[in-house]
Structure 1
Amino acid sequence: MLRTSFGAVLLAGTFLAFQGPASAGVEAARALIPHRAVYELKLKDVSDRSGIEGMFGRMVYEFTGSPCAGFTTSFRFVTKIDTGEEMRVTDQQTTTFENPGARQFRFDTKSFTDEKLDKQVAGEANNAENGIKVDLAKPDHRQVDLTPAQFPTEHMLQVIDNARAGKRFFEARIFDGSENGDQSLLASTVIGAPQTPRQDDPDAKSAGDFAGKQYWPVTIAYYNEEAKADAVPVYRMSFKLYDNGITRDLTMDYGDFVLSGTLAKLEVFDKAPETCR
């Protein structure tokens, strides 16, 4: 999933992927397929206050690893923005590593504008019973204690488990190292009934062997930690989700503008050998 994942979570509920027996978490995670997905981005909607005349770009998402060795996600999001006065290029590059068994998460995000580094956020988080312990290395070294939350792959598994069980709505809390790496996000997830792609669905053709497989339409709204009941989400994402973790037909709503992401290319990798003992 995308945001760095495309995920967020409240530690409760019956489908928490790695809170039960270790073997159950490993079996659930084995369904996820290592892959690289390329999405072509274009502006779907924009408000007058955004200052944006036009926008397009590309997103590359790569997911590799295994439940025992851990999962690595590489994510690159490049956009060209036309303000009417100038053309600006933004480039976000994120690499994360998640070890489900040890409940550890490492993250490193670099943000560039016109090839100039604006910001780098890097660190490591550990998920203990009493909460998330974050050790930030950049932009400055500090430690942060947060409320218990899930990491991105855990949340992806929770979305899939809820979808399989027919549970259409759940709330959650997630930590993915985004923004300044010092806060988690609340998320409300809505899962539609399983659907089979239409014959004229152009986005499905790029899904290769999965073109005709069933998927779930999913929408996740992300809120700041201190958000009140009537708060507006800081970010909303909709996509079609397969039970192996692959997503397509993205819509990313940032409030002032909305981007659509079409799956242009999908490459499935061989699974790594199991190393569980």
Structure 2
Amino acid sequence: MRLRDLLGTTAMAAALVLGLATPSGAQAPAPAATPNATQATPIEGAQAMAAHRAAYRLSLNSTRPDGQVVQAQGAMLFEVRDACDGWTTRQRLTLNVVDKAGDTVDTGSDYSTWESKDGKRLRFTLTQMAQGAVTQRVSGEAELDGDKGGTVRYEQPEVQEMTLPPGTILPMAHTIRTLAMAKAGQKMLNVPLFDGTNDDGAQDSTTILSPWTPPLADPRFPLLADQASARMRIAFFDRDASAGASTPSYEVGLRYFANGIADEMKMDFGDFIMNGQLEKLEPLPHDC
């Protein structure tokens, strides 16, 4: 799951593993097409990931005293499907924000990906909206060459090619790796992360992992039964000279279960912090 970049222009991009969205009434783009690919070698731990559809309610946690936001609420829908040689995801988010002047902004995003199970290829499409109008489209394909980095070829907003730095990791591979690290008692992961939610290439990320926690005694949803979990906090930093890496552009805290499902989130956009609470959860069939 992933979220990022809210409210520079009051538009939203998510990132790591949860969310982006389409406002009510807007037409969502078609999911990213699955590239023709040879059979990929799955990343260790990938078999534990659950295909599912999750709906979240977003509510305001707090605002910064000198910030502009006074109210915010929204909803998020996240789907992940097992496409045999890869994972397909779709993340939709709507957010209603009110500023100190009383002005209301409705933003939304719709984000679709296909990521190969060997963690080497990502196909992505993102549409962002504000006040019902499209404000940005991003699409393209990224390919990694092990730890050497890789290349992303954008189709929108303009045709261009960028180099991805050594060690870059893709979204689902990041989820799988951090869960394995938490289970092994490791505490931190620092890697460039590329998810296709902007046209600036990879962002640096720091993930802080909490101790591995036994399954809940009485989970709300059957898919969470017998699933251990770990809390983690992920910070994103722009890869430019001003990113002196002390102030993240976005932070998200999550509780991830061993099967890749998150039930709680806290999203820090700087001016304000949002809570995300899992409201509905259902399994999805394999698409093989």
Give how far 1:99 is off: 1.5
Aligned to 1:15: none
Counterparts of 1:39 and 1:261, CA distance in 2 = 6
Aligned to 1:116: 133
Counterparts of 2:222 and 2:75, CA distance in 1 = 19
Aligned to 1:33: 50
Identity across the alignment (%):
26
5+ residue gaps, structure 1: 8-21
* Residues 1:165 and 2:184 aligned together: yes
Number of residue equivalences: 251
Contact conserved, 2:43 with 2:119, CA < 8 A, in 1?
A: no
**Would the alpha carbon gap of residues 102 and 197 (structure 1) be closer, same or farther in structure 2, given more than 3 Å must change?**
closer
Give how far 1:97 is off: 0.9
* Residues 1:243 and 2:243 aligned together: no
Aligned to 1:261: 276
Give how far 1:246 is off: 0.4
Contact conserved, 1:33 with 1:271, CA < 8 A, in 2?
A: no
**Would the alpha carbon gap of residues 92 and 5 (structure 1) be closer, same or farther in structure 2, given more than 3 Å must change?**
same
Aligned to 2:87: 71
1:134 maps to a residue whose letter is V
Counterparts of 1:189 and 1:256, CA distance in 2 = 21
Contact conserved, 2:252 with 2:267, CA < 8 A, in 1?
A: yes
Counterparts of 1:102 and 1:183, CA distance in 2 = 17
Counterpart of 1:131 (choices 146, 149, 154) is: 149
2:179 maps to a residue whose letter is I
Aligned to 1:224: 238
Superposed CA offset, 1:131-150 (max 9, x none): 22111111111111121311
2:93 maps to a residue whose letter is F
* Residues 1:187 and 2:186 aligned together: no
TM-score using structure 2 length = 0.80
Superposed CA offset, 1:189-216 (max 9, x none): 11111234777x9xx52x3341564311
Contact conserved, 1:43 with 1:54, CA < 8 A, in 2?
A: yes
1:160 maps to a residue whose letter is L
Misfit runs of 4+, over 3 Å: 196-199
Secondary structure of 1:178's aligned partner: coil
Give how far 1:248 is off: 1.2
1:42 maps to a residue whose letter is S
Aligned to 2:164: 146
Give how far 1:76 is off: 0.7
5+ residue gaps, structure 2: 4-13, 18-39
**Would the alpha carbon gap of residues 145 and 27 (structure 1) be closer, same or farther in structure 2, given more than 3 Å must change?**
closer
Q: CA RMSD in A?
A: 2.1
Counterparts of 1:250 and 1:105, CA distance in 2 = 24
**Would the alpha carbon gap of residues 158 and 89 (structure 1) be closer, same or farther in structure 2, given more than 3 Å must change?**
same
* Residues 1:214 and 2:228 aligned together: yes
Contact conserved, 1:65 with 1:271, CA < 8 A, in 2?
A: yes
**Would the alpha carbon gap of residues 56 and 186 (structure 1) be closer, same or farther in structure 2, given more than 3 Å must change?**
same
Counterparts of 1:53 and 1:161, CA distance in 2 = 39
Superposed CA offset, 1:136-175 (max 9, x none): 1111111111213111111111101101111122212211
TM-score using structure 1 length = 0.83
**Would the alpha carbon gap of residues 267 and 175 (structure 1) be closer, same or farther in structure 2, given more than 3 Å must change?**
same
Contact conserved, 2:69 with 2:271, CA < 8 A, in 1?
A: no
Counterparts of 1:78 and 1:138, CA distance in 2 = 22
Aligned to 2:16: 6
Secondary structure of 2:48's aligned partner: coil
Contact conserved, 1:73 with 1:95, CA < 8 A, in 2?
A: yes
**Would the alpha carbon gap of residues 27 and 132 (structure 1) be closer, same or farther in structure 2, given more than 3 Å must change?**
closer
1:190 maps to a residue whose letter is I
2:281 maps to a residue whose letter is L
Secondary structure of 1:74's aligned partner: strand
Counterparts of 1:65 and 1:213, CA distance in 2 = 19
Superposed CA offset, 1:63-82 (max 9, x none): 1124x421111001100111
Contact conserved, 2:215 with 2:228, CA < 8 A, in 1?
A: yes
